Amino acid sequence: MTVRPLPTYFGKSRDAVAPALTMLVAATGLPAPAHADCATGRPFAVQTPVSRPTSWLTPSVEPLAGLLNGLRICGCTADMLRMPTESSSLDEFWATQAMWLAGGPVAIGPLSRHKLWDFLEDRYHAEGGGFVVVVGLDADGILIAHDPAGFPLRMVHRDRITEAAEPDGRTSAVRATSATAPPAGNAAVLEQGIAVRRAAAATGGGAIRSLADRVKANLRSSERATLGFGISGRGRSLARIASLLAASDLDGALDGHRRACADALDAVRDTDRRRLVDALRGLATHEDRLDEILERGQSRMIGDSVA
C-alpha cells in the first residue's frame, strides 16, 4: 500500500466536515483556510425538526453540501462520486478510490460513527458530520483512514466503511483536484452564511420557539440528553462565527447569544422544565438578531476592503 502523508494532522473535532475540508485543501498546496468551519456554511443556521429529536439544533447545511461549499470558497474544484447502495457496484466504486488516492487524500462521508467505530454518541445526536479522510487503500481492501473526531489514522476494511454509509445513498467520496481561483475572503464567507440562513426553510428564532413549545408539552430523559448535545454544538458554532466577525470588531456582538446558549445548557441539566422552556425562548430571541449582526459584519468587511 502506498500512503500519501497528510500535509497536516487535524483533530479532534466532533464535526469532521471542517477538518476534512482543511486536509483536502492543504493537499492541493493552498494554505489551510483560516475559518474552515464557517466556510462550510454549517455554523450559521440550525434545524429543529420537532418529530426528529436526533436532529434538534443540528446544522441546516448537510455535511456533504458543507464540504463542497468549503472547497468552492477555498478556490478548489472537486470530484464527487456517490457510494452505490447496490453491492454489485461497490467494486467499481473502490477501484475509483484507489485511482484517486494515487493523487492525494479522499474524504468519504457522511458515515455513522456508531457503526464505524462503535461510537455510541452518534446514536443520540446527528450534529457530527461523519467524514473520514482516506490516505491509503491496498489490494485486500484495507484503508488507512483518519477521522478528526478523535480517531486518528487507523486501518479499517472497506466493508466497514460500506456498512457505516448512510442508507439513503448520500454517502460520497470527494477529492479536491486543483486550485482554480484565489480563496474567497471573509466577506464572501459571511455572504454565504447569510444566504444559508435565508435558504433554510425553518431556522432562526421561530424554529427554536417551536422546539420550546415541544419541550413544554413533553420531554423524555433521552430527549433531554439529545437537547444538551444540540445546545453544546450551537455554542461551538457561535464561537466560530464570533472568531470570523472579529475582523469587523463585532465578535462581542455575540456575547449575549453565547451566554443564552450557556444558560440553556445549564437549564438542560436542571429538572425544572419551565426554566428550560424560558431559556430556549431567550436563545430564540438572540437567533432572531443574528441576521442583522452578520449583515453588519459583511458591510464592514466590504468597506474595509474598499478603503
pLDDT of residue 260: 96
pLDDT of residue 247: 77
Confidence of residue 202 (pLDDT cuts 50, 70, 90): low
pLDDT digits (tens, 9 = 90+) for 258-283: 999 999 999 998 888 999 999 999 99
Taking 70 as the threshold, does the pLDDT of residue 201 lie above it?
no
Taking 60 as the threshold, does the pLDDT of residue 301 lie above it?
yes
| Mean pLDDT, range 208-232, rounded to an integer | 91
pLDDT of residue 113: 84
Return the CATH fold of 17-179: Cathepsin B; Chain A (3.90.70)
Q: Which residues contact 145 (CB under 8 A, 6 or more apart)?
A: 108, 132, 133, 134, 135, 153, 154, 156, 161
pLDDT of residue 203: 65
Q: What is the pTM of this model?
A: 0.91
pLDDT of residue 123: 60
**From residue 258, how far is each of 61, 238, 241, 287 by CA, in Å?**
21, 7, 11, 10
Domain boundaries defined on the chain: 17-179, 186-299
